[in-house]
Amino acid sequence: LREVEPEITFYGFHAEGVSLKRDLELFTCLQQAHKVTMGSELEYHSVTATTDIRFYNLYYGIPATCYGPSGGNMHGADEWVDLPSVKNVTKTYAAFILDWCNVRE
């Protein structure tokens, strides 16, 4: 190894990261919708995985985030989702859309 140093190359997927400020109107509206439908404060989590929100936020100036049901083992062979949380998230989406699109005040 002293004579010929190894060369290490990563051939995996690379993507630009995105970081969002919590004071965005998107989050204010989502927090309100979540609190109304779930009866609790919205919890924030950061992830190191890649999601499609980077396209909207980085390249098109469209605010986007990930919000969804609870579950586990994402993208694994034994991935699962909590079905009652799917129903609750659907209600939150509906409340969010109504407020975001100014359908109701």
Contact 18, 50 (CB under 8 A): no
**pTM for the structure as a whole:** 0.79
Provide the pLDDT for residue 46: 86
Provide the pLDDT for residue 10: 85
Provide the pLDDT for residue 66: 93
**Average pLDDT estimate for 15-27:** 90
Contact 57, 20 (CB under 8 A): yes
Provide the pLDDT for residue 105: 58
Residue 100 amino acid letter = W
Provide the pLDDT for residue 24: 92
Per-residue pLDDT at 47 exceeds 80: yes
Q: Tell me the backbone φ, ψ of residue 36, rounded to 5 degrees.
A: -65, -45
Q: How far apart are CA 85 and CA 90, in angstroms?
A: 8
**Average pLDDT estimate for 55-68:** 93
Contact 72, 80 (CB under 8 A): yes
For the chain, percent of residues with pLDDT exceeding 70:
98
Per-residue pLDDT at 56 exceeds 70: yes
Could you tell me which CATH number the domain at 25-100 has?
A: 1.10.150.900
Domain boundaries along the sequence of the chain: 25-100
Tokens 């994402």 map to which residue? 74
Q: How far apart are CA 52 and CA 18, in angstroms?
A: 10
Average pLDDT of the chain to the nearest whole number: 91
